[in-house]
Amino acid sequence: MAEVVFEKVRKTFGSTVAVNDLDLTIDEGEFVSLLGPSGCGKTTTLRMLAGLEEPSGGTIRIGDRVVNSVPPAKRDIAMVFQSYALYPHMTVGKNIAYPLKKRGIREPERSERVMATARLLELETLLDRKPAQLSGGQQQRVALGRAMVREPQVFLLDEPLSNLDARLRAHMRAELIELHRRIGRTMIYVTHDQLEAMTMSTRIAVMNAGVLQQFATPADIFHRPANVFVAGFIGSPAMSLVEGELVGSGGGDGERRFRVHCGALDVALPAGLLNRSAAPGPISLGIRPEDILLGSGHHTAAVGVVERTGHESIVRLDAQGTPLIVRTPGDTPIESGETVRFSLRVERLHIFDSTTGLRLNADTKDS
Amino acid sequence: MNASRARMIWSVVTWTIVLAVVFPLIWMIVTSVKPQSELFSIPPTLMPETITFEHYRRLLTDTPFLQYFRNSMILAVTTTVVVVVLGTLGAYSLVRFKYRGRETLATLVLFTYLMPSVVLVIPLYLMMAKLGLANTLASLVIAYTTFALPYALWLLRSFMSSIPVDLESAALVDGAGRMGAFVDVVLPQALPGIVSTALFTFILCWNEYLFALVLVNSDSVRPLTAGTMNMLITSFNIDWSLLMAASVMMSLPLIVIFTFLQGTLTKGFGAGAVKG
Amino acid sequence: MHSDPPPSLEKRYARIGVVLIAPTVLVFCAVILYPLISAIYLSLFSIYTPTLAGEWVGVDNYTALLASGDFWNAALNTLIWTVGTLMLQLVFGVAMALLLNQSIVFQSLARSLVLFPYFLSTVVAVLVWRWLFNDLYGILNHVLLIAGLIDAPVNWLGQMPNAMISIILVGAWKYFPFVVIVVLARLQSIPEQLYEAATIDGAGPFQRFTDITLPQLRDVLVVVVLLRAIWDFKEFDLIYLMTGGGPVRATQTLSLLVYEEAFRLNRMGMASTYAVAMMLVLLGFTLVYLRQTNRLEEG
């Protein structure tokens, strides 16, 4: 069982708390992304799992073994570093062979396994070159090969694509997804790029300031973000967030009904949108760019900058002082400076408690 | 002023100064191949009218020079090996490990290479006498290690801290222990720095004078520096030809090292000097 | 049945680290601790060097030191020597580094050659310069006579103020390459783009020097000055071999005084007293150096 469990894991550096009471259970064979902005603790978490940092508190388990004090060499993990960390003085072949050498695997088995891995990653012709002679993409594949050749229980990847140009990154994303499908081992992936996380993961752990914000499937994270942070972090362009107030609106039919007054927006919420603990008070209203429909409706706004990407346009609106971002198909006739009418998909609105940041919608899952 | 004219002017100015700086050394070589008669001619001749290797022959056959040379070689090589081994391990420890007192140690390193050798020589002299090592090459090796090690540590620390930590982390994850990572990854990467440090240490030992003067008093153990000065003092007339020949021969290892490895040697200085 | 939890990784690594540095620490105990304590201890005795027989004198050595004309003479000489040679090392070193940073023919050869004096043995340097300075046959006097700058051979090493000037010059010649190496390395690390941007903004060559080069050099120069000051202050070999401290203590610095007391006058206790005085001065320098480098690292 290559399940990875973090139980109340803490890491402090002096007086800074890098990781705060992390509880996370990753099932065998999952592809989990640790996602968050710089400094959120994701890399520290990965390094603690690798054994390159020691937790200040809590337990880390791989399988059924507590690994807090186990040296990295004995954890049956492999890691791909952001800088690739290829050994500059060794050839590609020797780089890939190194983990096997350390495990005491001798010739000819060693060369066979190196060759097999090299073939898998299309590196056969490069085996005698030194890392400095390779391109970024090739170096990355060598780093992957070195990790794979040992067939470890868990793969750790620390922002492996961040040094590649955009096109190569897209290509490698697909390759990694395919790789995971093929070898089926647990992969834990650190990134600040939500696109990578969303497209590659079975589940995403969103972190901020050392605290786990939400651990859920990409779909859940996108459609049912647990709090304001996750909502604002995921989605590009970002969700529009407007401060305001939640008020009860009388309804004689026994159902609780609410309205929100947020900036210039005054909207009645559908029945059952909010969960049972929702009560009038200060809230943030979240609207995804694709949930604003232009052209008709009883809201109006002035059109600001319009970014046309061809297949869609990203439009910034100013609704009487309330800024909003809208995503609309590319052929929508819209120009800067115009006034436009718009409507909201009220069943897709997100409501967050201003004090706790938690989402108040009824379909919010527990992390 | 266009680029090639500027280049010419800078070249002339620079090379004039360089030649002036190097002139004493050229003069040393010239003097060493001049016959005695020409040596004391007034006015002195710039280029030798006849070239003779008589003085070199005399140096090697009539004086203990070869013995001094052998002593210096043994001394410098032994000390370099000891210093490089201790220094490499020590520098690695200072740069990649955390333990109590590490910072204090680093500061202490600083203090040591600021000690005047003239202050060190007295207690060392007493210590060697007490240990029964007076007047032996071993006493010089110990003495030289004590002052060469701080310099070596200073240089090696700056080389090692420039090796990316990720490389060692990768080795640890790949299955190496800390020392395995050191041997497999750090040492190969630090090799140019280690070579630089070894060369620098060798030169330091080769050139040292005071300890050789105080700790040793017989020709069989004397290294080149003290030996050559001894030849100067003990002779009645100062035999300049002989001394210049000795100077040239004494500088041979330096010239050899310099010709082939100048770049490596000074790389550490530039980087390490500022960090201290 | 629970067994003790294994020692944490960090603790195990720390242990390895300590083992690696242990031999070095041993050596350092021999180098710092032992001489320091020795010197202070010995300074309280009067010791006859050849037999190492001694007797307690307490602070008598120190009072003798303060009253001794020799001590203050040596202190003054050390000051003159240090300041003199340091200034020359600095000026020549920086000038040479600037020159070597330009585009010139055979640039790497020039850079190598200029370093020779520093790596040369002091013994060799002294022999060569004593030959150059030789009043009758030395080439220096000859050249100056021909150039008409002097009309009689100069006694470079046996007369004052010549002797002090001579050793300052030779010291500058021997040690200025250190300044060259460090400053040149710094100059080469100044990004070309800074100069390009300044040129676009309209700065001329002199302005580029004062506005870009000098500020970048400032940190390095501070460090170089402090290091060379410390090393020049404690210089022994060069001065001892050039003049022996003469004529009549005119070039005797503190290092030479310590040596004379210990091995010529056979007064090891007194020598240790002088040594302690020297170390106190150097300690002052070192603390300044430490504070400067810390400030530079933070700033």
| Chain segment C35-59, per-residue pLDDT in tens | 778 878 877 877 776 666 777 777 7
Q: Is C14 on the interface with A (CB under 8 A)?
A: no
Look at phi and psi of residue A295 and say left if phi exceeds 0, alpha if psi is from -120 to 50, else beta. Answer: left
Report how far residue A332's alpha carbon sits from residue A222's, in angstroms, rounded to the nearest whole number.
Answer: 25
Does the pLDDT of residue C222 top 60, yes or no? yes
pLDDT average, residue stretch A157-180: 90
Backbone angles phi, psi at A303, to 5 degrees: -90, 125
The single-letter DSSP state of residue A358 is B
What pLDDT does B113 receive? 64
| Cα Rg of chain B (Å, integer) | 23
| Chain segment A18-32, per-residue pLDDT in tens | 999 999 999 999 999
Counting other chains too, the contacts that C97-102 makes at CB distance below 8 Å and 24 or more residues apart are C97/C179, C97/C180, C97/C183, C97/C184, C97/C187, C98/C183, C98/C187, C98/C213, C99/B10, C99/B13, C99/B14, C99/B17, C100/B14, C100/C180, C100/C184, C101/C184, C101/C187, C101/C188, C102/B6, C102/B7, C102/B10, C102/B14
A208-212, A255-259, A274-278, B243-247: the lowest-pLDDT one: A255-259
The single-letter DSSP state of residue A346 is G
A chain contacts of residue C12, beta-carbon cutoff 8 Å = 71
Which chains does chain B touch, 3 or more C-beta pairs < 8 A?
A: A, C
Q: B224 with B72: CB under 8 angstroms?
A: yes
Tokens of C41: 């201890």
Three-state DSSP class for A248? strand
- Give the model's confidence band at C217: pLDDT under 50 very low, under 70 low, under 90 confident, else very high: confident
What pLDDT does B229 receive? 86
| Chain segment A63-89, per-residue pLDDT in tens | 889 999 899 999 999 999 999 999 999
How close is the nearest chain B Cα to the Cα of A53, in Å? 10
At the topology level, CATH places domain A4-227 in: Rossmann fold (3.40.50)
Between positions 164 and 183 of B, the ones with CB within 8 A of A are 164, 166-167, 169-177, 180
- CATH 3.40.50.300-classified regions of chain A: 4-227
How close is the nearest chain C Cα to the Cα of A8, in Å? 18
Tokens of A255: 């159902």
For the entire predicted model, the pTM comes to 0.84
Q: pLDDT tens digits for chain B (276 residues)?
A: 577 888 888 888 899 999 999 999 988 888 888 887 777 776 667 777 778 888 888 888 888 888 999 999 999 999 999 999 999 999 999 999 888 888 888 777 777 766 778 878 878 888 888 888 888 888 899 889 888 888 898 889 888 988 999 999 999 999 999 999 999 999 999 998 899 899 889 998 999 998 898 888 888 888 999 988 887 776 667 788 888 888 999 998 888 887 766 666 566 555 444 433
Question: Is domain A233-353 annotated with CATH 2.40.50.140?
Answer: yes
Preferred mutation among B21, B98, B256 to probe C, highest tally of C CBs within 10 A: B21
Does the pLDDT of residue C137 top 80, yes or no? no
At the topology level, CATH places domain C68-298 in: MetI-like fold (1.10.3720)
Tokens of C107: 């640039």
Burial of C298 (0-12, 13-18, 19+ CB in 10 A): exposed
Backbone angles phi, psi at A83, to 5 degrees: -90, 5
- CATH 2.40.50.140-classified regions of chain A: 233-353
Minimum Cα–Cα distance from A94: chain B residue: B184
Q: What ipTM was estimated for this complex?
A: 0.85
Picking from B164, B167, B174, the nearest residue to A102 by CB comes out as: B174
Q: Please name the helix (run of DSSP H) or strand (run of DSSP E) that holds residue A352, with its range, or none.
A: strand A350-353
B chain contacts of residue C25, beta-carbon cutoff 8 Å = 105
Domain boundaries in chain C? 9-56, 68-298
Minimum Cα–Cα distance from B96: chain C residue: C17
Task: Say if the Cβ atoms of B98 and C14 lie within 8 Å.
Answer: yes
Task: Say if the Cβ atoms of B173 and A52 lie within 8 Å.
Answer: yes
> Which of A138-152, B97-111, C191-205 has the highest average model confidence (pLDDT)?
A138-152
pLDDT average, residue stretch A86-95: 94
Does the pLDDT of residue C271 top 90, yes or no? no
For every residue of C9-49, DSSP letters joined together read HHHHHHHHHHHHHHHHHHHHIIIIIHHHHHHHHHTTEEEET
Between β-strands A240-248 and A211-216, what pairing exists: parallel, antiparallel or unpaired?
unpaired
For every residue of C154-223, DSSP letters joined together read --SSSSTTHHHHHHHHHHHHHHHHHHHHHHHHHHHTS-HHHHHHHHHTT--HHHHIIIIIHHHHHHHHHH
At the topology level, CATH places domain B62-272 in: MetI-like fold (1.10.3720)
Between β-strands A258-262 and A265-268, what pairing exists: parallel, antiparallel or unpaired?
antiparallel
Task: Say if the Cβ atoms of C272 and B102 lie within 8 Å.
Answer: no
Which chains does chain C touch, 3 or more C-beta pairs < 8 A?
A: A, B
Query: b/e for A246-283, b at 16 or more Cβ within 10 A?
Result: beeeeeeeeeebbebebbbbebebeeebbeeebeeeeb
Q: Is C7 on the interface with A (CB under 8 A)?
A: yes
How close is the nearest chain B Cα to the Cα of A75, in Å? 8
Task: Say if the Cβ atoms of B164 and A85 lie within 8 Å.
Answer: yes
